[in-house]
Chain A
């Protein structure tokens, strides 16, 4: 598992200068992509310290080499059913633009797939999905090798975590 991660990290490092490269990962049956520029690193699942009074999908905080960063479970954020973590479950550390500053956050995903170079002609406009999935979170949809990847607008997805409402428990 660790060599896979190393390869992944190297791929991310090598491609981070270029636009159009996406890191893709899986949640359940669906595949998502985030711009490689936003990805700082990928780490194995680790113990997360819970913090009270936050929404269910905010798992808590972890220690990333001396920095304490929040961790959000994307599966729960997207209202999928909760599932036990496997050895493929990872935390992707991303940089998010919140209103006042940029912060680092971790997102828990089922598995990390690959770094894809997505060309302009492979990207399509976001279709209407109805209420199931909020299309605000999507920058677009890409069709690569016959598979559909949903390109996420991370800042939008995680911006709500900038301010936590106390009534979230309701």
Chain B
């Protein structure tokens, strides 16, 4: 049975790699394994009829028979000759030397090498079999023996897979960029090498298959089309599953068996390489049944400029190319970071309590005052620093969306251009985690329900290629993340009809488009005509909104039927610190976030007007604003002070201004926000608690909630 060139290369590469490792420790008895390896390699060469191979066989034999001291030199000679032969085979112009060289796995400890690695998997003529990818107990033996080694291998491999995913999406738009192709090839090569040295054959074999494809691509012998990208992405998924499964298997738990899918993928890759399979490939990979795919997939070599009939294009703006960040970074256990941030928060509070201590106020000492001021400065800086450590750019989350949009659009046959903006915008780490699911859900909705099929779009006079944009920006005290599509927009008629059918609104009620849009946030609401596996189960938008509100954020909709929809998620900039205006109402003190405050004034009687006997209005320059008192909003009864006897603070939420009557303004203060907890999750108008200088808790007011209380007082609350 004759090997293909690829198979020979694979086997010899691996053999030489292991020989190099074992030679590191070889002495006397151990060298025997190296000799055996070399004999095997020589046999392989001798069985392979091709020019130049005979010479390789000779050197291999010499290496096998060389005296111990000369083995290393002989091996080096063989490696050099081998590299030369490989290079000649491909006539490659740009093969980086280090990649052509034998991969010496960096991770392996000498102890691990002494154990005999299982034999290299035999070239399997029956590619469709998943046998080569089956997980055996043998293959995790080394990992079980050395937990630290296992941990490092798994972590590194997952890191590599994550960067591969990002890079390969770029290959789709720049299929000829050799540097990019190398950047994708190298991590697969590394994973293969590491897995091989550790004996994890299932991972090694799959990585090897993909590596073959990429090797051909980077030497210009195969073009990476959409089908190839699909294959690579599928490989990333399978490898991720397998590697994550290792953790479970090491602990003796079962892990998912993907060997069958690996076999299928290997067959697909072979088909792509041999040219038997072309663009139709995606159907092979789709494991779930999907509603009608676009039937006429005509072109096979899409050009970058013209629209493609299937597939998605991802345009990411600033640089995301595998360039290593020039910043130096360290890995820190996040629990340590959280502890640090908590402790700094406590420090700020205690420092504040000391400064406000009346005993201290009685001491008039210039030096003391200076030191206290410096203490405050340093503590504030420390706090700002600690907070910023929790911040991370939203880039990674956005890039996950790239992958999602690509997969969704290929499954649904729609052409979608995903535009990202503001990926550098930083958010608190926890927010980034928590925003992931809501964002994914909304992107799915956009693609599924918002974007029309290419035919429908053309019929509507829109470009067949739809556009979804995902942007993040700082705005005032908030982060705004917007998901916009130029699809069909929310269908107000259908929403209205559904709401009436569900008994949510009265058939006669007259709602503005904005109010109709808000209805989609009701639990169990979905106007999707059919449920796909993607969305439409009606579980979604209410959960999305709750998740966002749990982050003290808000979600707003803007939609025009026929033109598109934009969802805007507004989140507070930091979870923990707030600059607030301290105010007193009665005996209680409250904190009002300064970004909600527009101005404050002591109105004169002439500026106060009343309406319907109850509602008071205040005239500020040329505008009349409604006035509210906290006790009214919070349901207390009893006499209220007159506006001209109070200070009125003008607060703004969402372009609406309201005058809040307070007894006294106590000054500005930076406070650490403490969440009140589940017990108070439905309280409106209160965003959290702050520990004030004297140790008591002051409620932090939320302008939006206060305004909504004014519109919909408690007794009418839905």
Contacts and interface: CB of A to CB of B under 8 A. Distances in A.
Interface of A: 47, 49-54, 58, 60-63, 66-70, 98, 100, 103, 105, 161-166, 169
A63 B680 contact: no
B679 A58 contact: yes
A84 B256 CA distance: 62
Given A63-B695, A70-B677, A103-B677, A51 B346 contact: no
Given A68-B697, A169-B635, A169-B714, A163 B683 contact: no
A49 B699 contact: yes
Given A51-B699, A100-B678, 6 more contacts: A49-B689, A66-B345, A68-B674, A70-B676, A105-B679, A169-B714
Nearest to B349: A66
Interface string B643-676: 0000000000000000000000000000000111
Interface in B669-718: 674-686, 688-689, 691, 695-699, 714, 717
A56 to B, nearest CB: 12
B628 to A, nearest CB: 13
B90 interface: no
Nearest to A158: B679
B588 interface: yes
B676 A68 contact: yes
B691 A69 contact: no
A45 to B, nearest CB: 14
Contacts of B714: 53, 166, 169
8 contacts: A52-B633, A53-B635, A54-B680, A68-B691, A70-B676, A70-B679, A70-B680, A162-B679
A100 B550 CA distance: 13
Contacts of B345: 66
B678 A51 contact: no
A47 B683 CA distance: 21
Given A63-B696, A66-B691, A51 B682 contact: no
B683 A164 contact: yes
Contacts of B677: 68-70, 103
Contacts of B680: 51, 54, 61, 70, 164
Contacts of B634: 52-53
B520 to A, nearest CB: 22
A34 to B, nearest CB: 19
B485 to A, nearest CB: 33
A98 B679 CA distance: 10
A49 B698 CA distance: 7
A53 B708 CA distance: 14
A125 B682 CA distance: 37
Given A49-B698, A61-B697, A169-B635, A163 B681 contact: yes
Contact of B717 (A49, A62, A69, A166): A166
Interface of B: 342, 345-346, 349, 588, 633-636, 674-686, 688-689, 691, 695-699, 714, 717
B678 A163 contact: yes
A47 B678 contact: no
Q: From B675, B686, B695, name the one whose CB has the most chain A CB atoms within 10 angstroms.
A: B695
Contacts, number: 83
Contacts of A162: 678-679
B696 A51 contact: no
A165 B717 CA distance: 11
Contacts of B699: 49, 51
Chain B binding site: helix, strand, loop or mixed by DSSP?
mixed
A61 B678 CA distance: 12
B635 A54 contact: no
B705 to A, nearest CB: 10
Nearest to A70: B679
Contacts of B674: 66-68
B716 to A, nearest CB: 10
Contacts of B346: 66
A169 B333 CA distance: 46
B258 to A, nearest CB: 33
Contact of A166 (B342, B682, B696): B682
Contacts of A98: 678
Nearest to A161: B679
A71 to B, nearest CB: 10
A60 to B, nearest CB: 8
B684 A53 contact: yes
Contact of B683 (A51, A66, A161, A169): A51
B683 A52 contact: yes
Contacts of B684: 53
B249 to A, nearest CB: 31
Contact of B697 (A49, A163, A169): A49
A51 to B, nearest CB: 6
A164 B682 contact: yes
Given A68-B675, A68-B676, A53 B697 contact: no
Q: From B349, B682, B686, B697, name the one whose CB has the most chain A CB atoms within 10 angstroms.
A: B697
Nearest to B689: A68
A61 B689 CA distance: 8
Contact of A163 (B682, B686, B698): B682
Nearest to A69: B677
B682 A53 contact: yes
Contacts of B635: 52-53, 169
B696 A49 contact: yes
In order of increasing CB-CB distance, the 10 nearest A-B pairs are: A52-B634, A68-B674, A49-B697, A68-B689, A70-B679, A53-B683, A161-B679, A66-B346, A63-B697, A166-B717
A51 B676 contact: yes
B676 to A, nearest CB: 6
Contacts of B588: 49-50
A63 B633 CA distance: 25
Contacts of A62: 697
Contacts of A100: 678
Contacts of B717: 166
